[in-house]
Structure 1
Amino acid sequence: MADIERHDYDVIVIGAGGAGLRAAIEARSRGLRTAVVCKSLFGKAHTVMAEGGIAASMGNVNSRDNWQVHYRDTMRGGKFLNNWRMAELHAKEAPQRVWELETYGALFDRTPEGKISQRNFGGHEYPRLAHVGDRTGLELIRTLQQKIVSLQQEDHAEHGDYEARLRVYPECTVTELLLDEGRIAGAFAYWRENGRFLRLEAPTVVLATGGIGKSFKVTSNSWEYTGDGHALALRAGANLIDMEFVQFHPTGMVYPPSVKGILVTESVRGDGGVLRDAEGRRFMFDYVPEVFKGSYADSEQEADGWYSDPDNNRRPPELLPRDEVARAINSEVKEGRGSPHGGVYLDVASRLPAEEIARRLPSMHHQFKELADVDITAESMEVGPTCHYVMGGVEVDPDTAASGVAGLFAAGEAAGGMHGSNRLGGNSLGDLLVFGKRAGAGAAEYVAGLGARPEVSQADVEAAEQRALRPFEESGSAAAQHPYALHGELQQVMNELVGIIRRGEEMSSALDELAELKDRAGHMAVFEGNRQFNPAWHLTLDVANMLLVSECVARAALRRTESRGGHTRDDHPGMDATWRRRQLVCEHRDGAVTVTERTHPPMRRDLLELFDITELRKYFTADELGEVTAEL
């Protein structure tokens, strides 16, 4: 057995995006010794790619906005499958988290009065997204990263050590969570650069690892998004919920092929951009669902007037929730009205002056000019749906972010429940901040209530090491499999059979293919090189996680026989009210994934009263509403 580094902490945060850094700041501020483990370089988390803004009902642009309106929008966007308590906490606390970022040094765009500027976004009734041009995620990470550095400077001033109570482990990957009689005892990890192993001991772990997008062929997600946190939680005994709901952002680049899938921020549409078919027709007016009639314009004149008239509540149809826009684009392409490269046109050039586009959307202007040789101030972009976000994740307590495993917490995209069947744009950054803070606080309270600390078993460490090194042993086997080939096959299966439009027989085929890939993955091998920065070795570990999480997505999607939010069944095209209360739960027992049904808890009465009874009848069964129907 090789020498293994050993470190002791109170909290291990896995992931250094917005949720992970906010959790680490909270834990450290409460006096806990905290480790932040990040797969990439510190400051390079996928959060930097979030462009549009942070949804928070500060009312800086429209004073009628408040947390109740934000709550309503979030529940409508999620088709009422959201954990209502998480949606409530998020709507109430997001403004405080934005103002807090300002105290950390974040530089937001301003209104003429000097307040934080807020922009329009799909599914939001009022301009609500606090933003920094179209680089909000970058500013968020920069700000939280600098806060981490300032806390380390405090440690140096007090203890003569920059890492006395807060250390960052960059380019380090956790392969397993270590347990002591069902409680978190630590994590097993390795340095990506040299392959050396680490034994991190702590009674709490916060999972903030992001999403699962690299399981799909066309995705806006960066290379880190391989479902690590989801898989770690499953193997440790936690549940995943809502895994059938995968969001396909409606506007990813479709041409040229080298940049296919790269995100085109919703800010383009929020600032006036419109979607057109191959003939230049603005087609979104044809796709406003019945449940949204009355809230969205049905003519170009009315839609365009909305941007200048704050009293006009009928929004442009381009600002429908993302699932609706993605399905509309998919339908246009399927009907033969798409662009030459399989998308539609996103036009902002005819809507705003060139200098205004460059000012409001600097990243988009630069991205298209440099990567695709398209000047968005003068011509339209070709866009189409791209795998962007998973609404499902670790089942957590809304108030503490605690999972069902003692000592294990989750926040951000790794946690499920907040967004229901579909996430509204801008709600992700608020989610990171609100529940990142709550996860850090929950971990601190858990540690404070501990008696004896859990202990890491030497046998478990040795077993984790053997599993991590197995791909090197497989290289001489006749059954050896190349991880790159398996990853490509997995992405093809998920994209074609469990993608934006789903059918029962195709998902059954996907499960058969996933089972075969799982068998072959047991023989993944590293054919060349050693443990020193070996990308093939890293991918063998990632593919194992992606296969496990992909099976959860496919099994849950096959089970849910309706279309809702990010889950569209071609063979069950309607939304079924009897499915609204039914939540699908994924478990991993004895090496197998099982999916069971559970009933959603009823929404609290005062929150239910925020909605008109006519709207509730579109989502709830008569039995669910019961006596409330008559009283409302």
Structure 2
Amino acid sequence: MSGSETGGMERHTYDVVVVGAGGAGLRAAIAAHEAGSRTAIVCKSLLGKAHTVMAEGGIAAAMGNRWPEDNWEVHFRDTMRGGKMLNNWRMAQLHAQEAPERVQELEDWGALFDRTDDGLISQRDFGGHRYARLAHVGDRTGLEMIRTLQQRAVALGIDVFMECTVTDLMLDTSDGSRISGAFGYWRETGRFVVFEAPSVILATGGIGKSFKVTSNSWEYTGDGHALALRAGASLINMEFVQFHPTGMVWPPSVKGLLVTESVRGDGGILRNSEGKRFMFDYIPEFFRAETADTEEEADRWYDDKANNRRPPELLPRDEVARAINSEIKAGRGSPHGGIFLDIASRRTPEFIRKRLPSMYHQFKELADVDITAEPMEIGPTCHYVMGGVEVDADTELSGVEGLYAVGECSGGMHGSNRLGGNSLSDLLVFGRRAGESAASYAAGLGARPQVADADVTAAATSALAPFEGSASGTENPYTIQQDLQQTMNDLVGIIRTGPELEASLAEIDRLKERARHLLVEGHRQYNPGWHLALDLRSMLLVSECIAKAALERQESRGGHTRDDFPGPDPEWGSRNLVLRLDAGGEGVELAHQPLPAMPDDLKTYFEGS
């Protein structure tokens, strides 16, 4: 690495720059470094504070430690069916095949997993998975993953630039268009920094802060999605937003905070205000053959999966979230607008405190609820976006030379709905692949692509625009974000209609116009209003992508539910919606694209299902 400051601008030179320090970014950086590349990690927040820590339940991998019958083929089938067959089949295949090795690798690097009685890595049940296959550390698995990967990255000496936000990708257009680096700023001082690198890996996470009720942290403003669009890449599956069935609903200060699926995986059940275990009323035909329809059969499943059907509480997340939403709308909700999640009547206090320590402390400290003695009030919360940058399944390369994407900001792997636990194994499998691919590309270059001074000047001017204070500067970034969140919550939420989606697009256009008149006061140092003004560019662009794709897809599938098109449509089940920046660079245009064709040998796994 070399660092310098020329013309008042700090510059650094690397082979591979990874934007984001969650599980995907760390695993990609480790792989790139081990492949011989000079590698840097640039993260918006502090190292170790990544949103990956919120993935508490476990890492999905068909290791067969509890059920020897489990294998990659079953995991592949579960993943494809959970995504309603809209997944990129090759990504789902690679993910299922390679996840066990990636989990074992984590253990080799020092991760401390819970154990079975015979000393193997313990695996727990999760919704949509036929067998117990989530390797876990209590209900703090994401935290242990980040700790392990962070320790590995630091031990290898990988450079980390913390509290540094990337606002633009640099392109060398002298011979085609290829990545030459990234432009950003230090959040503390406001000073600009340029990273010169032929390979950039986007690992920036999701889009949840565009919604009013979300489990996502403040960093999740769709940065990677928007950076890729503006660089010339395409997005797919953006209409599919996962509303996790269980987020806290009380007190208001923590509304949306995640309640891990581990509670249901370990035996928790859902009840309405009448005390009814209502999920038996919402079993879709697609899963009826393998879902229990009596309480007795559902409860036997935990002991004998080979001969019993799974509880309806362990249906895929989209099905459970819709059922909860229906009960609340029907007036059978809890006092604070949710429903009840009950594990206290199902498991001993000792079991709960051992298996779910984070949930026990979270509810005790934040809501004064003892989950070993009383039910939790929960409701759906915006949690994950299945859509993201369109990438090659094997290399994670986008449509822009030198630009890779991995984790939640990439698309294709999860189709229309992600199964719980698949996110963490996704990060590991494709993080490694992206890092190795980016390093290989950088090593094979002759002349390195160059960062043009004019592009750096333009990026700096754009970043400083909210400070200009012209006569047109009248808008507050916090007000625009609040209005955007309300719009997305009300019109592009868990249940959608055509007229509401059209209204949302009109409102997003108005918000984009208002954003042209932003005024930020003060200086560049310690200025959160300025940070938000820059984040709004990403949030508005990505919100438009979600709403436009949701309006176009006239069916209900996975994380996309249209009240005016209530069922899945086979024609829509064979196509993706692809979004690109329009010629003017201000909005997005949409196109239809056929799904990649699955080979015949893999199709046999779905015969008769």
TM-score band (shorter)? over 0.9
Say if 2:472 and 2:517, in contact at 8 Å, map to a contact too: no
Bigger shift: 391-400 or 589-598?
589-598
- Structure-1 separation of matches of 2:517 and 2:379: 36
- Structure-2 separation of matches of 1:105 and 1:147: 9
Say if 1:203 and 1:453, in contact at 8 Å, map to a contact too: yes
> Are residues 1:283 and 2:278 paired?
yes
Deviations 1:295-340 (A, max 9, x none): 0100000000111224234000000000000000011111111111
Deviations 1:28-81 (A, max 9, x none): 001100110000001101001110000000000000000000000000000000
> Are residues 1:80 and 2:75 paired?
no
Three-state SS of the structure 1 residue aligned to 2:468 is helix
- Structure-2 separation of matches of 1:301 and 1:239: 48
Structure 1 partner of 2:526? 533
Q: Match for 2:428: what amino acid?
A: L
Say if 2:297 and 2:308, in contact at 8 Å, map to a contact too: no
Structure 2 partner of 1:192? 187
Structure 2 partner of 1:160? none
Three-state SS of the structure 2 residue aligned to 1:580 is helix
- Structure-2 separation of matches of 1:439 and 1:477: 46
**Equivalent residue runs for 1:371-410 within 5 Å:** 371-410=366-405
> Are residues 1:178 and 2:173 paired?
no
Three-state SS of the structure 2 residue aligned to 1:93 is helix
> Are residues 1:142 and 2:147 paired?
yes
Say if 2:214 and 2:256, in contact at 8 Å, map to a contact too: yes
Deviations 1:219-267 (A, max 9, x none): 0000000000000000000000000000000000111111100000000
Q: CA deviation at 1:448?
A: 2.2
Bigger shift: 592-601 or 412-421?
592-601
Structure 1 partner of 2:555? 562
* Correspondent of 2:567 among 551, 568, 574: 574
Q: CA deviation at 1:400?
A: 0.3
**Equivalent residue runs for 1:83-482 within 5 Å:** 83-152=88-157, 166-181=158-173, 182-474=177-469, 476-482=470-476
Bigger shift: 442-451 or 377-386?
442-451
TM-align CA RMSD:
0.9
Q: Which runs of 5+ in 1 are unaligned?
A: 153-165, 616-632
> Are residues 1:521 and 2:515 paired?
yes
- Structure-1 separation of matches of 2:599 and 2:321: 32
Deviations 1:164-204 (A, max 9, x none): xx210000000000000110000001000111110110001
- Structure-2 separation of matches of 1:523 and 1:13: 32
Three-state SS of the structure 2 residue aligned to 1:351 is coil
Q: Match for 2:444: what amino acid?
A: G
Q: CA deviation at 1:449?
A: 2.1
Three-state SS of the structure 2 residue aligned to 1:609 is helix
Q: CA deviation at 1:341?
A: 1.4
Say if 1:19 and 1:436, in contact at 8 Å, map to a contact too: yes
* Correspondent of 1:501 among 488, 492, 495: 495
> Are residues 1:63 and 2:68 paired?
yes
- Structure-2 separation of matches of 1:75 and 1:328: 21
Structure 2 partner of 1:623? none
Q: Match for 1:118: what amino acid?
A: Q
Three-state SS of the structure 2 residue aligned to 1:198 is strand
Structure 1 partner of 2:594? 599
Q: CA deviation at 1:478?
A: 4.2
- Structure-1 separation of matches of 2:307 and 2:142: 30
TM-score (norm 1): 0.94
Q: Match for 2:529: what amino acid?
A: A
Say if 1:125 and 1:313, in contact at 8 Å, map to a contact too: no
- Structure-2 separation of matches of 1:347 and 1:129: 21
Q: Match for 1:121: what amino acid?
A: F
Deviations 1:122-160 (A, max 9, x none): 0000000000000000000000000011111xxxxxxxx
Three-state SS of the structure 1 residue aligned to 2:531 is helix
* Correspondent of 1:486 among 476, 480, 498: 480
Three-state SS of the structure 1 residue aligned to 2:606 is coil
Q: CA deviation at 1:6?
A: 0.6
Q: Tell me how many residue pairs correspond in the alignment.
A: 599
Q: CA deviation at 1:2?
A: 6.6
Three-state SS of the structure 1 residue aligned to 2:432 is helix
> Are residues 1:18 and 2:23 paired?
yes
Q: Match for 1:169: what amino acid?
A: F
Q: Match for 2:73: what amino acid?
A: Q
- Structure-2 separation of matches of 1:477 and 1:364: 51
- Structure-1 separation of matches of 2:422 and 2:372: 28
Say if 1:87 and 1:418, in contact at 8 Å, map to a contact too: yes
- Structure-1 separation of matches of 2:327 and 2:235: 34
- Structure-1 separation of matches of 2:312 and 2:574: 28
Deviations 1:79-118 (A, max 9, x none): 0000000000000000000000011100000000000000
- Structure-2 separation of matches of 1:332 and 1:312: 30
Say if 2:187 and 2:526, in contact at 8 Å, map to a contact too: yes
- Structure-2 separation of matches of 1:311 and 1:320: 17
> Are residues 1:53 and 2:45 paired?
no
Deviations 1:332-384 (A, max 9, x none): 11111111111110000000001110100000000000001111000000111
Say if 2:473 and 2:519, in contact at 8 Å, map to a contact too: no
- Structure-2 separation of matches of 1:335 and 1:470: 48
Q: CA deviation at 1:415?
A: 0.3
Q: Which runs of 5+ in 2 are unaligned?
A: 1-5
